[in-house]
Amino acid sequence: MDVDELRLLLTREGLALLDRVEAGLGERDVVREVARLRAEGHDPRLVAAVLTQARLRRRAAARFGEFAGAMLFTEAGLEQATRLRVAAHHAGRMREAGIRSVADLGCGIGADALAFATLGLEVTAVERDEATAALAAYNLAPWSARVVHGDALETPVDAEALWFDPARRDGATRLADPADWSPALDAVFARAAERPAGVKLAPGIDRALLPAEAELQWVTDAGETVETVVWTGALARAGVPRSALVLSDAGAAELVGEPQHPEQGELGEWLYEPAGAVIRAELIGALAERIGARGVSDGIAYLSADAHVETPLAQAFRVRETMPLDERRIAQRLRELGIGELEIKKRGADLDPAALRKRLKLRGDERATLIATRIGGRHRAILADRP
């Protein structure tokens, strides 16, 4: 969205049209809706902006819940925005540390700033893109928040804590160079050392880029690993070098500790797949100790145990049987068992689950999970069930 489109949208006519279109868009064809709105005499640019916003609000409901219907978005802003439940965790960390004011430096559409403000923190949100800053100002208008159009690193702010969400530079895919980020990570970490700060990064970032003196936290939300956060100063907990946080509708679970590998052993009755945050934080060994499990093969993230332990930090599978990782043997066994619905997972095995499922030509009323991995260094197929 460019600034001219945004100016049209932020008029009384534009916002009223958005509310009217959003309310009935699901019942009408988009092409006909465009024609109808233009026939009413609305500016074509406003029509395009309104329909885009109505579509984005529908998509945003999964991230922002009831807040989505009162917010404005850009495609990129929505894609990069922190999920509301995760942002609430960031805000809770700030409040628990006694922080009363925070500067969100590079606020995007204002997702984290919104969470900070709803918990009563005074918020200064800085965004260098003019249109995005205007959207953030609209989204934050009901709260105690000030939005500044400026550079994240150069804009002076008076706040007790800082929050950064640097973006990947266009075309950057390696995430192994500080310059792959905007602002560059070296500059962000230097600023974050000045006062308590949180720096949100992609979960796959090269760990060698992260400062050793900070608390490093990986976060999984609703089964998807969504971020790495570097906490500094009073926002970093004493004695917690790394942590893995798993969020779901049932609440939050956390594992803390030093990176460690689990002891290896035999495959038992139960197989566990640690949450992505646990794997990224290299806390698989700590999880194994917590649930009384062991590794199944060097370099493989699966754990195994003889008894079932319920934990939100891992998915559990009850092992039916194992067999060689041979497609013909697998297909024959699945036919014998009448398995027509098959979930396929893999670690340490070179196969395409979608292509394999198609070649297996599944038939039957039963369901199961097939796990292709290494057990004791040998490729094996595990047939299992979710409890």
pLDDT in tens, 164-217: 999 877 666 666 788 888 899 999 999 999 999 999 999 999 999 999 999 999
Rounded-to-integer distance, Cα 289 and Cα 269, Å: 17
3-state secondary structure of 344: strand
Is it the case that residue 113 has pLDDT exceeding 60? Answer: yes
Rounded-to-integer distance, Cα 380 and Cα 10, Å: 59
Q: What is the pLDDT of residue 34?
A: 83
> How deeply is 322 buried, as exposed, middle or buried, from its count of CB atoms within 10 A (0-12, 13-18, 19+)?
middle
Q: By C-alpha distance, which of 106, 62, 103 is closest to 86?
A: 62
pLDDT band at 25 (very low <50, low <70, confident <90, very high): low
CA 377 to chain centre: 32
Q: What is the pLDDT of residue 38?
A: 87
Rounded-to-integer distance, Cα 272 and Cα 14, Å: 52
Can you give the pTM of this predicted structure?
0.91
Is it the case that residue 33 has pLDDT exceeding 90? Answer: no
Q: What is the pLDDT of residue 1?
A: 75
Q: What is the pLDDT of residue 268?
A: 97
Q: What is the pLDDT of residue 175?
A: 66
Rounded-to-integer distance, Cα 266 and Cα 125, Å: 53
Half-sphere exposure of 214 (CA within 13 A, CB side): 25
Q: What is the pLDDT of residue 31?
A: 76
**In whole numbers, what is the pLDDT of the chain averaged over residues?**
94
β-pair type (197-201, 161-164) = parallel
Is it the case that residue 372 has pLDDT exceeding 80? Answer: yes
Instruction: Using the structure block, give the residue that is written with the tokens 């893999």.
Output: 346
pLDDT digits (tens, 9 = 90+) for 125-165: 999 999 999 999 999 999 989 999 999 999 999 999 999 99
If one counts every other C-beta atom within 10 angstroms of the C-beta of residue 297, the result is: 20
Q: What is the pLDDT of residue 161?
A: 98
Average the pLDDT over each of 37-46, 117-126, 317-326, 350-359 and give the range with the smallest value: 37-46
Q: By C-alpha distance, which of 383, 341, 344 is closest to 364?
A: 341
Non-local (6+) Cβ contacts of 211 within 8 A are 189, 193, 230, 232
Q: What is the pLDDT of residue 28?
A: 61
Q: By C-alpha distance, which of 360, 356, 361, 362 is closest to 340?
A: 362
Q: What is the pLDDT of residue 330?
A: 98
Both tokens assigned to 380: 């094996």
3-state secondary structure of 30: helix
pLDDT band at 36 (very low <50, low <70, confident <90, very high): confident
Is it the case that residue 27 has pLDDT exceeding 60? Answer: no
Mean pLDDT for the stretch of residues 233-260: 96
- Amino acid at the residue 291: I
Is it the case that residue 4 has pLDDT exceeding 90? Answer: no
Q: What is the pLDDT of residue 3?
A: 85
